[in-house]
């Protein structure tokens, strides 16, 4: 490994990296504890847009992960910030379980479309409704543009394909707020007073976790769990800083290779 650098923060993806639905990745809880003992800041960055933060936290705690709500950054909360800043009244294509994160937002007579991961809304009727709003000039906000995700019964389409469909139909471009947007990563790091060169991102999505983080100036570590498929590491350029079998393996190799900030 070339030159030892200071490691001040590790950003960790949740779904597919720490857990897959209601099962923890083997050894991930202990690996997280080892990381915390190493005096680095840990934050959780997720495009898991089906769930509000509170239920995400409950799920992880049931799986015996040690984390706090304020350590979690989701693309849903980033979307809410944007809607508030621009004072939009969105048609929300997000699952009912995620609506809590939009509590208090006016959604009457919509003049914008927000797309999250909402299989029950990704049907012909609702997409037509969204399309007609876009043709009238409503802005399109994408909570993220992931191609697909790992579900208990196999791979499943993420929001990205549906956002792309609406973009093609209406001729507009979505504003994407979650991973792999650089601003999403840098907003998390700025709260930690940490530069991108002092931070590492660990995740199972080559493009959205690793590619996005590396474009923001961080190093990216790809884990071969969750949605990982053979050959993913060669789909991005530059390639991942490291490709590891799982989150525990990634933590061990990072701790070996890095000098920690004290």
Q: Binding of another protein at residue 110 (CB under 8 A)? A: no
CA 108, 112, 117, 123 torsion-angle sign? positive
Q: Binding of another protein at residue 120 (CB under 8 A)? A: yes
Judged by phi (left if over 0) then psi (alpha if -120 to 50, else beta), residue 261 lies in: beta
Q: Binding of another protein at residue 122 (CB under 8 A)? A: yes
How far apart (Å, rounded) are the C-alpha atoms in residues 54 and 165?
31
Q: At what angle do helices 75-85 and 182-191 cross, to 10 degrees?
A: 100
**What is the side-by-side strand order in the sheet with 140-142?**
90-93, 112-115, 140-142, 175-176
Q: Minimum distance between the CB of residue 52 and another protein, rounded to whole angstroms? A: 21
Q: Binding of another protein at residue 123 (CB under 8 A)? A: yes
**How many residues contact another protein, by CB under 8 A?**
27
Relative to beta strand 23-24, strand 19-20 is: antiparallel
Q: Minimum distance between the CB of residue 128 and another protein, rounded to whole angstroms? A: 5
3-state helix, strand, coil in the chain (%, to 5): 40, 20, 40
Binding residue (CB under 8 A) for another protein from 166, 188, 206, 221 = 166
Q: Binding of another protein at residue 247 (CB under 8 A)? A: no
Q: Binding of another protein at residue 128 (CB under 8 A)? A: yes
Judged by phi (left if over 0) then psi (alpha if -120 to 50, else beta), residue 51 lies in: beta
**Cβ proximity to another protein, 119 vs 239, nearer residue:** 119
Stretch that binds another protein, among 84-92, 102-110, 154-162, 173-181 (CB under 8 A): 154-162
Q: Binding of another protein at residue 234 (CB under 8 A)? A: no
**Cβ proximity to another protein, 123 vs 183, nearer residue:** 123
Residues that bind another protein (CB under 8 A): 119-120, 122-125, 127-128, 131-132, 135, 147-148, 154-158, 160-162, 164-169
């Amino acid at each position: 490994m070339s030159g030892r650098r200071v490691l001040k923060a590790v950003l960790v993806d949740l779904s597919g990296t720490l857990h897959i639905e209601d099962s923890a990745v083997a050894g991930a809880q202990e690996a997280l504890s080892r990381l915390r003992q190493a005096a680095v800041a840990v934050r959780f960055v997720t495009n898991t847009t089906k769930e509000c933060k509170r239920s995400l936290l409950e799920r992880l705690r049931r799986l015996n992960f040690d984390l706090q709500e304020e350590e979690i950054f989701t693309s849903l909360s980033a979307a809410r910030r944007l809607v508030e800043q621009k004072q939009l009244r969105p048609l929300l294509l997000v699952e009912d379980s995620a609506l809590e994160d939009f509590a208090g937002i006016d959604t009457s007579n919509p003049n914008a479309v927000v797309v999250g991961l909402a299989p029950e809304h990704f049907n012909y009727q609702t997409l037509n409704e969204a399309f007609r709003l876009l043709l009238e000039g409503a802005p399109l906000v994408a909570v993220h543009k992931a191609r697909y995700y790992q579900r208990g019964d196999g791979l499943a389409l993420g929001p990205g394909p549906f956002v792309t469909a609406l973009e093609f139909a209406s001729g507009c471009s979505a504003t994407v707020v979650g991973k792999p947007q650089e601003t999403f990563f840098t907003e998390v790091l700025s709260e930690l007073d940490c530069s991108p060169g002092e931070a590492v991102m660990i995740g199972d999505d080559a493009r959205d976790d690793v590619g996005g983080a590396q474009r923001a100036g961080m190093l990216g570590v790809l884990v071969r769990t969750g949605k990982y498929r053979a050959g993913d590491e060669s789909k991005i350029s530059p390639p991942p800083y490291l490709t590891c079998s799982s989150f525990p393996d990634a933590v061990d190799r990072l701790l070996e290779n890095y000098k920690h900030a004290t």
